[in-house]
Structure 1
Amino acid sequence: MPPLSNVQQRDIDSVFHPYTPLHKLSETGTLVIDHGKGVFIYDTQGNEYIEGMSGLWCAGLGFGDEELIDAATEQLRALPYYHLFAARGTEPAIELAEKLKELAPVPISKVFYTSSGSEANDTQVKLAWYYNNALGRPEKKKIISRQKAYHGVTIMAASLTGLGPNHKGFDLPVDGVLHAECPHFYRNGLEGETEEEFTARMANSLRALIEREGPETIAAMIAEPVMGAGGVIVPPKGYFPAIKPILDEHDIMLIDDEVINGFCRTGNWWGAETHDMVPTTMSVAKQLTSAYAPLGAVMVPDDIYQAFVDYTSRLGTFGHGFTYGGHPLGCALGVKAIEIYQKRDILSHVRALAPLFERRLTGLTEHPLVGEARFSGLVGGLELVADKATKRAFDPSHGVGAKVSSLIEKRGAILRPLGDTIAMCPPMIIKEDELNALFDRLEGALDEAEGWVEKEGLRG
């Protein structure tokens, strides 16, 4: 390894990095990003990369968008901060809430602001508890999530997350969180089972979980339309239409986590529309502002909000909120981002590029390292396997996904390894030639990784 640069050493000396093998930092160093423009980012050494993950699934309009920069500057000059506590309001918070209500795929009455997707999903649980207390059902509090789900990193959101690294060492998950089976047909389908039969089995398994736990103890189920950090897992045919009647039968709310899926990413405004999901409430963040400022939100229907109104008349106030929830900068950027999505017709652009994205991604299933390609709109994943015929995975200790990611980086592109799944989520403004360049670099990295796998004898 070359010696660390001054800025890398300063970084390691002072910054506590999330989602990072901390014990390796002094050897590997860090990639310090200096600036970005369009779909490209540039490190402090001047190297250019196609940012194939939109940062963390969030910079849908890319980097350096002048309209967003102008909107932020204008808002900072007018009102750099205010809060929504104690019946205060700001025009950006009002306007953004109005826009979200108009865009929502189901009737929404009110928008509650947070600073992030984790806070939004954490709030969803508190609201579900509060709602059932309001209705005199104090025992109806458990939350169903799913194995391989990702819903954030606060104590409750990380408990909802169905990924081992988010639990190990943190004494998680907390009590009251249930994890249903992961609806991943490629990995969890039985031999000879059709996708429709798999969906029916997943629905029956959910019903059995509810009946085993007692529906009178379960408040809600939370689900991403497409499961992001768990491996870009696209639901099997008919999955949400199959589970919704079961939830309705047992009076269990369905919380739609749109934090990654929302705002045109899957080829519709909402992942729920793409995958036939009819939610009770919704969580949004990330592309809400195209990541130009932190902001999240929870969207609730009128019957639930009215239950809150009635309950607070007994309690005296609604005792929940965040200092930066509804921050005027974030809300102004949310308003502008939605305006840009609409006037530039980003939705049509995503739909126009989706066939190329699908063709290039599925074409990689011919590669000896690739077991499955998964996609929805402009989000996708490649699952790497040791044996294509049997779907046998590599030993996780080999770090094959991480190796492919590092090889892609050397070719001038950023993608994210989720174990041995390579995730792709490019800015939605990406052009056809840029998307082809991204795939060309990925193909080159896969070819080099195949040579490495063979040389090291990693197939076992």
Structure 2
Amino acid sequence: MTIAPNSIEARDIAYQMHPNVNLRTYEKSGGLVIESGEGIYVTDNSGKRYIEGLAGLWSVAVGFGEKRLSEVAKAQMDKLPYYHTFAYKTHGPSIELSEMLISIAPVPMSKVHFTSSGSEANDLAAKMVWYRSNALGKPDKKKIIGRIYGYHGVTIAAGSITGLPRNHQSFDLPLDRMVHTSCPSYVHFGKDGESEADFTKRMLGDLEDLIQREGPDTIAAFWGEPVMGAGGVLVPPVGYWEGVQEILRKHDILLVVDEVICGFGRTGKMFACQTYDIKPDVLVLSKQISSSYLPLSAILMNDAFYQPIADESERIGVFGHGFTASGHPVATAVGLENLKIIQERDLVGNAAALEEKFLGRLNELAQHPVAHSSRGVGLLGALEIKPFADGKPGDAAAAVAAALQEEGVICRAVMEAVCFCPPLIITAEQIDEMFDALGHALDTVAASRA
């Protein structure tokens, strides 16, 4: 695109450093400037409207422009715009949201600790795992198992648990106490002639072998997303989570479940732990907790996890951790109202009711000559694109995502897939609108390659 001097795009390039981009490319091309949003749509500074097919960053459950959230934010700003939860102090919104989260948790939980992002929450959860091992007199039980293509954030510990090379390269990550097991994506890593059941058995064998190589007494926790979102919407094979939990119980390894993307209705249940019968010791939540209207995340922990940490804080005199914005009153007030909206409007039920249509349309598009296959659960899905024979990895998916943006739909290209995660308020008609546009984009890419 042509960037006019002194335009907002030019000022953006001049002054702002963006995340998750090739910075030199951004200096030349600039970015899309979004000015407003309403429902499932956002509008750029030229007036063009788009379906936000990724709900921002997998997160705007109730859609854009929800007045109840802005009104609650203003009311809380007027009453108590900021206070902290340090040093034996607290405030109403953080208490009320903690109570709600404990009441709706997929398994019995004991305590909630708030942070401001999924990265921060996963990072702190890792610190607490180590703190707890010390409290139990197990100073060697510190290693954490992540998974190849898993994503848990970009802070030092969370980025190390993450299994994506782009988040490690040139950052001197991962830390040496983080190890990674195989990615359980049957569509990508199943061998010729291997059944899904045999693939699951191999994945579980890889995990057991890793534990034995490292030493069970050195491994503290296993981290996993029920569905691997930022890795490309990678859905677990049948029997995978049942087998993982059995292995972890056998070796006394904690299970930390990252529902930053999956939580609060995305899979057609309030939590994906309910979809896949997962029983975590620690549950990490963010994104849809506040529909990302304000930065907020939460760590839920069961009593067996919490009690040794509390004992250790008494022994040494303090739990020596905290963020200025932990449990921020405006963020927690908005989070509480957001969850009330999700419940009152049965947005979890909407995801479940529309799953068949959503996944069915993706499956129809998987028959397109440019496409390879589709996958998903609830209102979370991906269309795998056939790689270009003469291109670099990811070029084909990037081309489809670019063509789709021209059609007025924003998605996310991840490796060889285009991923979709629309606001939970989407309707059947809007699903058709979104995927009709994707069909046109596939046709455009096919014509450009003819």
Which residue of the partner structure matches residue 432 of structure 2?
Answer: 436
Q: What's 2:313 paired with? A: 312
Give SS of 1:87's match.
coil
- Normalising by structure 1, what TM-score? 0.96
- What whole-Å deviation, never above 9, does each CA across 1:186-209 have from its counterpart, x for those lacking one? 111112111111111111110010
State the match for 1:427 in structure 2: 423
Do 1:385 and 1:394's aligned partners in 2 also have CA atoms closer than 8 Å?
Answer: no
* Residues 365-384 of structure 1 aligned to structure 2 (within 5 Å): 365-384=366-385
- What amino acid maps onto 1:28 in structure 2? S
Query: Is 1:2 the equivalent of 2:19?
Result: no
Q: What is the CA–CA distance in structure 2 between the aligned matches of 1:453 and 1:270, rounded to whole Å?
A: 41
Change (3 A) 1:397 1:45: same
Letter aligned with residue 448 of structure 1 = T
Q: Look up the match of 1:36.
A: 37
What CA distance in whole angstroms lies between the structure 1 residues aligned with 2:296 and 2:243?
A: 32
Q: Is the 2:223–2:258 contact (alpha carbons within 8 Å) kept by the matching residues of 1?
A: yes
**Structure 2: gaps of 5 or more residues:** none
Q: C-alpha separation between the residues in 1 aligned to 2:134 and 2:224?
A: 23
* Residues 393 and 415, structure 2, Cα contact 8 Å, conserved in 1: no
CA distance in structure 1 between the aligned counterparts of 2:394 and 2:139, rounded to whole angstroms? 48
Other-structure match for 2:212:
211
Alignment of 1:39-438 (within 5 A): 39-386=40-387, 395-396=391-392, 399-438=395-434
Partners of 1:396 and 1:419 within 8 A in 2: no
Task: Kindly state the Cα deviation for residue 398 of structure 1 after the two structures are TM-superposed.
Answer: 6.7
Following TM superposition, the consecutive aligned residue runs of length 4 or more in structure 1 with deviations greater than 4 angstroms are: none
Deviation at 1:438, TM superposition (A): 0.5
Aligned to 1:457: none
Aligned pair in 2 of structure 1 residues 302, 46: CA closer, same or farther (>3 Å)? same
The verdict on how the C-alpha distance between 1:394 and 1:194 changes in structure 2, with shifts beyond 3 A counting, is: farther
Deviation at 1:27, TM superposition (A): 2.9
Residues 404-448 of structure 1: per-residue CA shift (max 9 Å, x gap): 111111111100111221010000001111111000111111111
Q: Does the Cα contact within 8 Å between 2:386 and 2:396 map onto a contact in 1?
A: no
CA contact (8 A) 2:404 2:438 kept: yes
Contact 2:114 2:326 in 1 (8 A): yes
Aligned residue for 2:21, secondary structure, equals: coil
Higher mean C-alpha displacement, 324-333 vs 190-199 = 190-199
2:2 maps to a residue whose letter is: P
Q: Aligned equivalents of 1:72 and 1:29: distance in 2?
A: 32
Find the residue that maps to 2:121 and give its secondary structure. Answer: helix
Q: Helix, strand or coil: the match of 1:263? A: coil
Task: Describe the shift of the 1:435–1:398 C-alpha distance in structure 2 as closer, same or farther (beyond 3 A).
Answer: closer
Q: Deviations over 1:27-75 (max 9, x none)?
A: 3221101110111101111110000000000111110001111111111
Alpha-carbon distance in structure 1 between the residues aligned to 2:387 and 2:113: 46
Deviation of 1:386 after TM superposition, in Å, equals 3.6
Letter matched to residue 361 of structure 1: L
| Cα distance change of structure 1 residues 398 and 255 upon mapping to structure 2, 3 Å threshold | closer
Is the 8 Å Cα contact of residues 394 and 400 (structure 1) preserved in structure 2? no
Mapped to 1, the partners of 2:436 and 2:38 lie a distance apart of 21
Amino acid at match of 1:87: Y
Structure 2 SS opposite 1:130: helix
Is contact 2:387-2:394 (8 Å) kept? no
- Partner of 1:226, secondary structure, is coil
Quote how far apart the aligned CAs of 1:276 are.
2.1
Q: Return the alpha-carbon distance in structure 2 between the equivalents of residues 432 and 245 of structure 1.
A: 39
Q: Is the 8 A contact 2:3 2:9 kept in 1?
A: no
Are the counterparts in 2 of residues 257 and 284 from structure 1 also a CA contact under 8 Å?
yes
Percent of residue pairs identical: 45
Separation in structure 2 between the aligned mates of residue 129 and residue 3 of structure 1, nearest angstrom:
50
CA distance in 1, matches of 2:347, 2:385: 31
Partner residue of 2:447? 451
Structure 2: how far apart are the matches of 1:218 and 1:257? 18
SS in 2 for 1:324: coil
Provide the TM-score with structure 2 as the length reference.
0.98
Alpha-carbon distance, 1:226 to partner: 0.4
Residue identity matched to 1:193: E
Residue segments in structure 1 that go unaligned for 5+ positions in a row = 388-392, 455-460
Distance 2:405 2:366 in 1: 21
Taking only aligned residues, the RMSD between alpha carbons, in angstroms, comes to 1.2
Q: Residue 271 of structure 1 aligns to which amino acid in structure 2?
A: A
**TM-aligned CA deviation for residue 252 of structure 1:** 0.2
Instruction: Give the AA of the match of 2:257.
Output: D
Tell me which amino acid in the other structure corresponds to 2:102.
K
Separation (CA, whole Å) in 1 of partners of 2:193 and 2:382:
24
Deviation at 1:13, TM superposition (A): 0.5
The 2-side partners of 1:360 and 1:200 are apart by 31
Residue identity matched to 2:407? R
Distance (whole Å) between structure 2 residues aligned to residue 179 and residue 396 of structure 1: 26
Shift of 1:355: 1.0
- The CA deviation at 1:26 is 3.3
Cα distance change on mapping 1:322 and 1:242 into 2, 3 Å = same
Which whole-Å CA distance do the structure 1 matches of 2:393 and 2:98 have between them? 46
How far apart, CA to CA, are the structure 2 residues paired with 1:380 and 1:280? Answer: 27
SS state of the match for residue 366, structure 2? helix
Counterparts of 1:51 and 1:256, CA distance in 2: 27
